[in-house]
Amino acid sequence: DVKVTQSSRYLVKRTGEKVFLECVQDMDHENMFWYRQDPGLGLRLIYFSYDVKMKEKGDIPEGYSVSREKKERFSLILESASTNQTSMYLCASEDRRRTGNTIYFGEGSWLTVV
């Protein structure tokens, strides 16, 4: 079974704080993703990475950055958290050697910015 682990399930941070969300996958997948999910808005792609040290912007990258120093780990960084970044954040990974676009999600990180 694919395992995508998000280290923090629930966080409460203050406005202006720097926030790190960590994600680790154990299946040697090349592709990794960060999404946020908000009610009525579905899943929106923030950033993705298709290899170590590679990153590409998704649909809503503003206010976020990412880091991929190792293949299994993909971090999402909020340099200065704001209340509109209160959301559920989902990490995902994909084996791009396989056909089809089946991505596997972690359990999510609930971030509240106060």
Partner 1 sequence: DQQVKQNSPSLSVQEGRISILNCDYTNSMFDYFLWYKKYPAEGPTFLISISSIKDKNEDGRFTVFLNKSAKHLSLHIVPSQPGDSAVYFCAASAQGGSEKLVFGKGTKLTVNP
Question: Which is closer to partner 1, CB of 14 or CB of 96?
Answer: 96
* Contact between 58 and partner 1 per CB under 8 A: yes
Task: Tell me which stretch binds partner 1 (CB under 8 A): 12-20, 36-44, 65-73, 79-87.
Answer: 36-44
* Contact between 97 and partner 1 per CB under 8 A: no
Question: Which is closer to partner 1, CB of 81 or CB of 92?
Answer: 92
Q: Are 73 and 93 in contact (CB under 8 A)?
A: no
Query: How far apart are CB 111 and partner 1 at their closest, in Å?
Result: 13
One DSSP character per residue, 18-66 reads -EEEEEEESS--SEEEEEEEETTTEEEEEEEESSTT--EE-S--TT-EE
Element housing 67 (H / E)? strand 65-70
Total residues contacting partner 1 (rule CB under 8 A)? Answer: 28
Question: Which is closer to partner 1, CB of 15 or CB of 56?
Answer: 56
H, E, C per residue of 10-30: EEEECCCCCEEEEEEECCCCC
Query: How far apart are CB 6 and partner 1 at their closest, in Å?
Result: 8
* Contact between 1 and partner 1 per CB under 8 A: no
* Six-digit token string for 19: 């926030």
